[in-house]
RNA sequence: GGGCGGUUAGCUCAGUUGGUUAGAGCGCCUGCCUUACAAGCAGGAGGUCGCAGGUUCGAGUCCUGCACUGCCCACCA
């Protein structure tokens, strides 16, 4: 029988089977909704993993959260589109293939561009799907039919379109500026790809002799004002100095204005200029100016028309301009230069100095600020809108503080260098006329046939675009832009973006800038003044951004290959199952803190899955045995519109109680998911399923299910039906977090013939307030107290586990007494507390040995064994102390007028009630302590 | 140089707009293979919530300062 589950829970087998099933059955394919669509729409774009990537814990966290949100929306009746794809990852992929070539003894230079690119495509065909295959194993409910790759034809066309439009709007320009140059990658990189690292270094003070122009007299050279001292951390760049700057307000140097210095080693005369660049407080107040190798100096150079002398080449070696140092690596040159300066008496001092060293994020190579002709995006106009939409709340961040971080960054943004000296990527759609003296640049969607000068030889720019340029367009290009598609109309803006902080600026910020620019209809070149708020609101790429935490190892260390502490999600899954791993990530995803991923935690959630598994086995066992194969009628009407528990018979207290608890759980879980509190949602389900359903409800219905004991078939069948219906609803509640085990058991409930193809298509439970039963919860709490009290007594009295004890119960409040009388049947307490007979008595049992008391009842176990009086007295004393302390505090507050007038009523009332109960209890404890004293 | 976060049980972390007795998992101790589950059941120990002030009838929660710690941003030599 299909519903007969194997005895042991083995996630591996179940999970791969359903993962395949979901893909094969195309369960998550989303048709473009028709014009008359009334269903709400939910759109989510998968942050495309690098095509070279392997799944890591960060991906898994990210995807787990996305899958939870998407499954939840789908079950709530949304048209839920989750769009998957991969990123061509320019540098990463190119390097990967180059390494492969190197092993074959080839290199791309010899191969040529065309062949190399063909080779990259081959690589991609062969290995590029790996990470998405891994995703399938995670159960990601994406629409695979819509899978994209950033180099697809349609996306590439859109990239060109964007480039051309931005160029036509004057927002893309080409020019020779200082860029971050990575000599290892052989390309310019953007500011974001540079990471600064504080390292100990040296600050060199160098004496530049002053000469008074060409007509300097030798006499003056002997004065002590004959030199000016500059400080630098990079002495090798001095070879390219074209000025020394002093601050115009710095009186120490006013007599030198307009004079020149003789550049040591190079013997080149360079002017002393006055510029804000030099800050009087720093060092000597004089700074060397190297326009070709420093961004600040570059600007100063423009202000003063200084020549730009490059001395370091693209391989970070000194070039011909470096005279005797030509050919040396920049650091070798530094050493030699310092040596030579010292030898010639120019080196005044060397100080220890902490340097914020700029390194290439990818290769770790020290980045060289280098003069280079590149393409840039003029970012200010785009940033303006991107700031506006966040300030106005058209895009909301969770956690909120990321909105501020985003704004700070966006307000200080610099132009974006978008050209890369690579082969793999979107080639820049610009052509240069090769005719002599024609410097025409043509930016066009297609290769132009001829230049306006008449020349027909046009060469396309050799560079490609920054990968983030194309991924920044994905929220609309994946939906068919620049065509005005129905998809675009329905699915844009995306509802949500879930991603990590690490790509907030790289990607999220760029998507917002580009989305708000291109999706602001109608597109008016050059006009971006205040316009229709609705249009602006509708232009955002997504309405909300959820930033998730970083997954660290159990010791809070960042996972990194070099540290060797990287956890492979596939291995973790292999060991504990995808469901348990997903649950761990969800349960630990409290906002604001990183996740210290602990396997012991995962093992705990594997145990939770096992608990569910066994509870299901218990259910099926009873369905077959007791109820003769009873199954819930698979009425589809009960499933999709049905939000809660279908046809539940509230015959007993525990029935009413569990139904109430289920509704509370459903309410809480929905609320938590609304605010992306995955941790709360997961923990809430855990507590309900294990702590209430399994620990209490299952135990309490066992007597009814046990035919041999009572043979009430009708009651047994009702109990069984309740269990099945409750379980079914609980599975739906859990499904977004643990999709596999819930799918497996759900199908089993329907004997393999479910009314829908998947639990993922069933309705998500919502709370029905009418089923929340406060009275049942209160009564049940008393009953639970009583059972726990009996268990405590058994432990105290050291009753052998197998021995059943008779108990006596006293309750002074008639209502509670009658409630207990109604619900406390021996059979009910048999299993939970091993009780064999219950007698209600008329007098308090509080002072009896072998009794326990709460403010509502006393319970006494009839058992011969002597108790450990000393231990009992200690326990009672401790408890009494605690209660007395509370009582004193509470009474003090209740007699304080200030408290009584200022505190809200419910707090005062609550406290009064507490005092009442504590008083009763403390008297009972006292009575018992007296009794104990007399007995010893 | 700016900005942000963290500090609660042995470990990893929750703790809503301040409100009655600060929770969980793992670990630990005791007893149980009770016919769903030893990946389990029952019971138990363990916290002056980083420190010092302040606001308040009331502070783990709000404010100020300090200490320790982590992260991000930054073209200053």
Q: Which residue minimizes Cα–C1' distance to B25?
A: A601
Q: Which nucleotide's C1' atom has the smallest distance to the CA of A285?
A: B77
What is the percent of chain A where pLDDT is above 90? 33
> How far from each other are the two terminal CA atoms of chain A, in whole angstroms?
63
The gap between A695 CA and B40 C1' (Å) is: 11
The gap between A406 CA and B63 C1' (Å) is: 27
Q: Which nucleotide's C1' atom has the smallest distance to the CA of A369?
A: B75
Supply φ then ψ for residue A416, to 5 degrees.
-110, 115
The gap between A832 CA and B55 C1' (Å) is: 50
Q: Which residue minimizes Cα–C1' distance to B69?
A: A556
Q: Quote the CA–CA distance of A26 and A29 in Å, as a whole number.
A: 6
Q: Which nucleotide's C1' atom has the smallest distance to the CA of A908?
A: B20
The gap between A46 CA and B27 C1' (Å) is: 38
Q: Is A82 left (phi over 0), alpha (psi -120 to 50) or beta?
A: beta
pLDDT-derived band at A291 (thresholds 50, 70, 90) equals very high
Identify the CA nearest to A857 among candidates A874, A843, A869, A877.
A843
Identify the CA nearest to A28 among candidates A3, A8, A46.
A46
Query: Taken in order A339, A345, A346, A351, is the CA torsion positive or negative?
Result: positive
Are A390 and A668 in contact by the 8 Å Cβ rule? The answer is no
Q: Could you give the angle at the alpha carbon of A402 between the alpha carbons of A399 and A404, nearest 5°? A: 125
The gap between A833 CA and B10 C1' (Å) is: 32
> What is the token pair recorded at A182?
């990575």
> What is the token pair recorded at A855?
């403010």
Q: Picking from A171-175, A307-311, A756-760, A910-914, which range would have the lowest pLDDT averaged per residue?
A: A910-914
Q: Quote the CA–CA distance of A765 and A639 in Å, as a whole number.
A: 10
Q: Picking from A65-74, A634-643, A768-777, which range would have the lowest pLDDT averaged per residue?
A: A634-643
The gap between A115 CA and B30 C1' (Å) is: 73
Q: Which nucleotide's C1' atom has the smallest distance to the CA of A607?
A: B39
Q: Which nucleotide's C1' atom has the smallest distance to the CA of A679?
A: B14
For residue A417, what is the DSSP state? Answer: E
Q: How far is CA A816 from CA A786, A839, A853, A920, in A?
A: 12, 15, 14, 15
Which nucleotides along chain B are within 7 A of a protein C-beta?
3-6, 12-15, 19-21, 24-27, 31-34, 36-37, 39-44, 56-58, 71-77
Q: Which of A76-90, A524-538, A882-896 has the highest mean pLDDT?
A: A76-90
Q: Picking from A108-117, A627-636, A735-744, which range would have the lowest pLDDT averaged per residue?
A: A627-636
Q: What crossing angle do the helices spanning A599-625 and A698-705 adopt, rounded to 10°?
A: 20
The sheet carrying A396-398 orders its strands as A79-83, A41-45, A494-500, A542-548, A396-398
Are A89 and A50 in contact by the 8 Å Cβ rule? The answer is yes
The gap between A893 CA and B51 C1' (Å) is: 29
Q: Which nucleotide's C1' atom has the smallest distance to the CA of A609?
A: B39
Q: Which nucleotide's C1' atom has the smallest distance to the CA of A903?
A: B57
> pLDDT tens, A307-338?
999 999 989 899 898 889 888 899 999 999 99
Residue A2, pLDDT above cutoff 80: no
> pLDDT tens, A443-483?
999 888 888 888 888 899 999 999 999 999 999 999 999 98
The gap between A873 CA and B47 C1' (Å) is: 24
Supply φ then ψ for residue A851, to 5 degrees.
-125, 155
The gap between A931 CA and B20 C1' (Å) is: 31
- Across the range A194-217, mean pLDDT stands at 77
Query: Taken in order A470, A471, A474, A480, is the CA torsion positive or negative?
Result: positive
Q: Picking from A3-7, A489-493, A594-598, which range would have the lowest pLDDT averaged per residue?
A: A3-7
| SS3 letters across A444-465 | CCCCCCCCCCCCCCEEECCCEE
The gap between A280 CA and B76 C1' (Å) is: 12
**Residue whose tokens read 């009064």:** A912
> pLDDT tens, A25-47?
999 999 999 888 889 999 999 99
What is the percent of chain A where pLDDT is above 70? 93
> pLDDT tens, A212-255?
654 444 444 445 558 888 888 899 999 989 999 988 888 888 88
> pLDDT tens, A830-848?
777 888 888 888 888 877 8
Q: How far is CA A695 from CA A658, A661, A691, A698, A803, in A?
A: 11, 13, 5, 7, 22
H/E segment holding residue A99: helix A90-103
Q: Which nucleotide's C1' atom has the smallest distance to the CA of A294?
A: B75
Q: Picking from A89-103, A275-289, A553-567, A605-619, which range would have the lowest pLDDT averaged per residue?
A: A553-567
Mean pLDDT, chain A, as a whole number? 85
Query: Taken in order A549, A550, A554, A557, is the CA torsion positive or negative?
Result: negative
CB-based burial, A364-389: b 16+ in 10 Å, e otherwise: eebbbbbbbebbbbebebbbebbbeb
Residue A530, pLDDT above cutoff 50: no
> pLDDT tens, A763-797?
999 888 888 888 898 888 888 888 888 888 888 88
> pLDDT tens, A680-708?
899 899 999 999 999 999 988 888 887 56
Q: Picking from A409-413, A550-554, A847-851, which range would have the lowest pLDDT averaged per residue?
A: A550-554
The gap between A616 CA and B34 C1' (Å) is: 19
Q: Which residue minimizes Cα–C1' distance to B42?
A: A791
Specify the higher pLDDT residue, A228 or A645.
Answer: A228
Looking at chain A, how many residues does it have? 936
What pLDDT, on the 0 to 100 scale, is given for residue A3?
58
| SS3 letters across A463-523 | CEECHHHHHCCHHHHCCCCCCCCHHHHHHCCEEEEEEEHHHHHHHHHHHHHHHHHHCCCCC
Q: What crossing angle do the helices spanning A713-734 and A599-625 adopt, rounded to 10°?
A: 150
For residue A258, what is the DSSP state? Answer: T
């Amino acid at each position: 029988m299909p519903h007969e589950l194997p005895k042991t829970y083995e996630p591996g087998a179940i999970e791969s089977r359903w993962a395949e099933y979901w893909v094969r059955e195309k369960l998550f394919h989303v048709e473009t909704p028709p014009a008359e669509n009334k269903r709400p729409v939910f759109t989510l774009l998968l942050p495309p993993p690098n095509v070279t990537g392997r799944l890591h814990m960060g991906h898994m966290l990210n995807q787990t959260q996305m899958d939870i949100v998407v499954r939840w929306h789908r079950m709530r009746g949304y048209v839920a589109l989750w769009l998957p794809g991969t990123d061509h990852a320019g540098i990463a992929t190119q390097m990967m293939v180059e390494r492969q070539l190197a092993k074959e003894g080839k290199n791309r230079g010899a191969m040529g561009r065309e062949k190399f690119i063909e080779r990259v495509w081959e690589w991609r065909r062969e290995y590029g799907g790996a990470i998405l295959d891994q995703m399938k194993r995670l159960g990601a409910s994406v629409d695979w039919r819509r899978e994209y790759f950033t180099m697809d034809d349609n996306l590439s066309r859109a990239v060109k379109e964007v480039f051309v439009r931005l160029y036509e709007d004057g927002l893309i320009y080409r020019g020779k500026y200082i860029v971050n140059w990575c000599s290892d990658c052989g390309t310019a990189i953007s500011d974001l790809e540079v990471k600064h690292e504080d390292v100990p270094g040296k600050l060199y003070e160098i004496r530049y002799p002053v000469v008074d122009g060409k007509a300097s007299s030798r006499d003056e050279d002997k004065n002590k004002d004959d030199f000016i001292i500059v400080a630098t951390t990079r002495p090798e760049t001095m070879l390219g100095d074209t000025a020394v700057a002093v601050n115009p307000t710095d009186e120490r140097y006013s007599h030198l204005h307009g004079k020149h210095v003789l550049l040591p080693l190079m013997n080149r005369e360079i002017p002393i200029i006055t510029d804000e660049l030099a800050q009087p407080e720093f060092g000597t107040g004089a700074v060397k100016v190297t326009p070709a190798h420093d961004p600040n100096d570059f600007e100063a150079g423009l202000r003063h028309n200084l020549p730009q002398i490059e001395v370091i080449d693209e391989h970070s070696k000194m070039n011909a301009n470096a005279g005797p140092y030509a050919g040396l690596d920049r650091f070798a040159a530094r050493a030699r230069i310092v040596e030579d300066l010292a030898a010639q008496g120019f080196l005044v001092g060397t100080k220890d100095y902490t340097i914020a060293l700029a390194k290439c994020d990818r290769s770790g190579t020290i980045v060289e600020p280098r003069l280079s002709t590149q393409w840039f995006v003029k970012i200010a106009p785009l940033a303006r809108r991107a700031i506006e939409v966040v300030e106005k709340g058209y895009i909301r961040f969770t956690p909120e503080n990321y909105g501020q971080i985003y704004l700070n960054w966006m307000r200080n943004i610099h132009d974006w260098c978008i050209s890369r000296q690579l082969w793999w990527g979107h080639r820049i759609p610009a052509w240069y006329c090769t005719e002599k003296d024609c410097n025409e640049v043509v930016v066009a969607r297609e290769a132009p046939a001829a230049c306006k000068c008449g020349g027909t030889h046009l060469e396309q720019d050799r560079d490609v675009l920054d990968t983030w340029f194309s991924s920044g367009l994905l929220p609309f290009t994946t939906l068919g832009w620049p065509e005005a598609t129905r998809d675009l109309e329905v699915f844009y803006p995306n509802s949500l973006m879930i991603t990590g902080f690490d790509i907030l600026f790289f990607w999220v910020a760029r998507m917002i800038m580009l989305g708000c620019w291109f999706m602001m209809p109608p597109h008016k070149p050059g006009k971006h003044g205040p316009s229709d708020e609705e249009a602006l609101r509708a232009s955002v790429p997504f309405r909300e951004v959820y930033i998730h935490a970083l997954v660290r190892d159990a010791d809070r260390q960042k996972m990194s290959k070099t540290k060797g502490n990287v956890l492979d999600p596939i291995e973790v899954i292999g060991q504990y199952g995808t469901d348990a791993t997903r649950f761990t990530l969800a349960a630990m995803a409290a906002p604001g803190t990183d996740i210290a991923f602990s396997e012991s935690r995962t093992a705990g959630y594997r145990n939770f899955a096992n608990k569910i598994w066994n509870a299901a086995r218990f259910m099926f066992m009873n369905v077959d045995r007791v109820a003769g194969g009873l199954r819930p009628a698979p009425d589809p009407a009960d499933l999709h519109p049905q939000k809660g528990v279908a046809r539940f018979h509230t015959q007993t207290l525990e029935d009413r109680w569990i139904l109430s608890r289920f509704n509370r759980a459903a309410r809480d879980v929905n609320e938590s998911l609304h605010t992306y509190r995955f941790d709360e949602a997961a923990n809430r389900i855990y507590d309900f399923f294990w702590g209430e359903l399994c620990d209490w409800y299952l135990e309490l219905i066992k007597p009814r299910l046990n035919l041999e004991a009572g043979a009430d078939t009708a009651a047994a069948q009702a109990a069984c039906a309740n269990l099945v219906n409750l379980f079914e609803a609980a599975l739906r509640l859990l499904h977004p977090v643990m999709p596999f085990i819930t799918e497996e058991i759900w199908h089993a409930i329907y004997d393999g013939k479910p009314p829908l193809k998947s639990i993922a298509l069933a309705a998500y439970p919502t709370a029905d307030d009418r089923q929340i039963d406060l009275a049942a919860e209160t009564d049940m709490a008393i009953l639970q107290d009583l059972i726990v009290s009996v268990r405590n007594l058994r432990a105290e009295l050291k009753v052998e586990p197998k021995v059943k004890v008779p108990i006596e119960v006293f309750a002074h409040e008639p209502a509670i007494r009658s409630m207990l009388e109604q619900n406390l049947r021996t059979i009910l307490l048999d299993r939970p507390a091993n009780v064999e007979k219950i007698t209600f008595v008329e007098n308090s049992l509080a002072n009896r040995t072998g009794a326990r008391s709460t403010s509502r009842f006393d319970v006494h176990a009839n058992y011969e064994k002597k108790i450990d009086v000393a231990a009992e007295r200690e326990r009672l004393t401790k408890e009494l102390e605690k209660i007395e302390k509370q009582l004193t505090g509470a009474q003090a507050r209740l007699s304080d007028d200030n408290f009584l007038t200022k505190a809200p009523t419910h707090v005062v009332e609550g406290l009064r009630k507490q005092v009442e109960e504590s008083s009763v209890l403390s008297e009972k404890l006292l009575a018992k302590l007296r009794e104990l004293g007399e007995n010893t």
